[in-house]
Amino acid sequence: MPRTTRAPAAAAAPSPRWAVADILDRLAPAYGPATSPRATYDATAELVYTILSQNTADFNSIPAYARLREAFADWDAIAAAPTAQIVDAIKQGGLAQVKAPRIQQALREVKRRTGGYDLSFLARMPLPDAKAWLRQLPGVGPKTVGCVLLFALGMPALPVDTHVYRVAQRLGLIGPKVNADASHDVLEAMLAPRQVLPFHMYLIQHGRIVCKAQRPRCGDCVLAQRCPSRQPAQT
C-alpha cells in the first residue's frame, strides 16, 4: 500500500475573531484591565448620561450630568420639568436645546412603558430583544443602546464611538462603506462576549493616544505590523 503524503497545510487566513484576539493581546499591556467607565450608573442613569454626552467631551458631560442630578430630586422631576430648566442644568454639556427634550422624551417613554425607571429587566432578555426595546425609545441609536447594555447591565453589546469606528476602519476590520451605525453589528459579530468591553475600551484609548484622527503615531503603534493603514515614518 503506497504511503500517502500529506500536502503541506496552506497558511490559513486568520479568522476575524483570531485577528481581534491578537489586537486585544497587543493592546492589553498598554491599556491594562478593561473596566466599565461608569460602573456605578444604573441603566437609566447610563441612558440619560449617554444622551447628554453625545458629541461632547467627558470633561463637559460629566459635570453637566452631575448638575442635572443635583438640580432635580428624581427622574420624575426631570421628566416633568419645564424643558428650559433642563437646558439650563445641562448647558455645559453642549447642544442643550437638543439634548434636554431628548432626555425628557426618553424618560417619559421609559415611565410609560414600564411604570417606573428600572431598566434592569433588560438584562434578563435575549440581547437582540433588549436592543430592540431600547431602540424604540426616542433619540436612542445603536451607540446609546450599546452603552446602556454593556456598561450598566454587563451585556455584550458593542458601542461604537468615533474612536472605535476610526481605528476599526484603519485596521481593516470594517470596510470604507460601512457607516458608524452599521458597524455596530459588523464589529460585534467578530467578538466573543468577553471581548466586547476590552475591544471598546482599548480602541477608544488607542484612538485618543496613538491612532489619532489627524496624525496617527504609527511609529509608536503596537498594531503597526499588521495594520493596512500604517503610515511611513516621517522624516
According to the binding rule CB under 6 A, does residue 159 interact with ligand SF4? no
192-209: burial string, b at 16+ Cβ within 10 Å, e else: eeebbbbbbbbbbbbbee
Nearer to ligand SF4, 129 or 220 (CB): 220
For the bound state, the minimum distance from the C-beta of residue 27 to ligand SF4, rounded and expressed in Å, comes to 10
CB 112 within 8 A of CB 98: no
Q: Where are the alpha helices (DSSP H) in the chain?
A: 16-31, 43-53, 58-71, 75-80, 83-89, 96-114, 127-135, 142-147, 162-170, 180-188, 196-209
According to the binding rule CB under 6 A, does residue 218 interact with ligand SF4? yes
Nearer to ligand SF4, 119 or 167 (CB): 167
Q: Between vectors from CA 83 to CA 146 and to CA 57, what angle results, nearest 5°?
A: 40
Residues that bind ligand SF4 (rule: CB under 6 A) add up to a total of 15
Residue of 64, 88, 171, 188 that binds ligand SF4 (CB under 6 A): 171
Task: Return the range that interacts with ligand SF4 (CB under 6 A); candidates 77-85, 139-147, 167-175, 197-205.
Answer: 167-175
Site residues, ligand SF4 (CB under 6 A): 167, 170-171, 210-211, 216-218, 221, 223-224, 227, 229-231
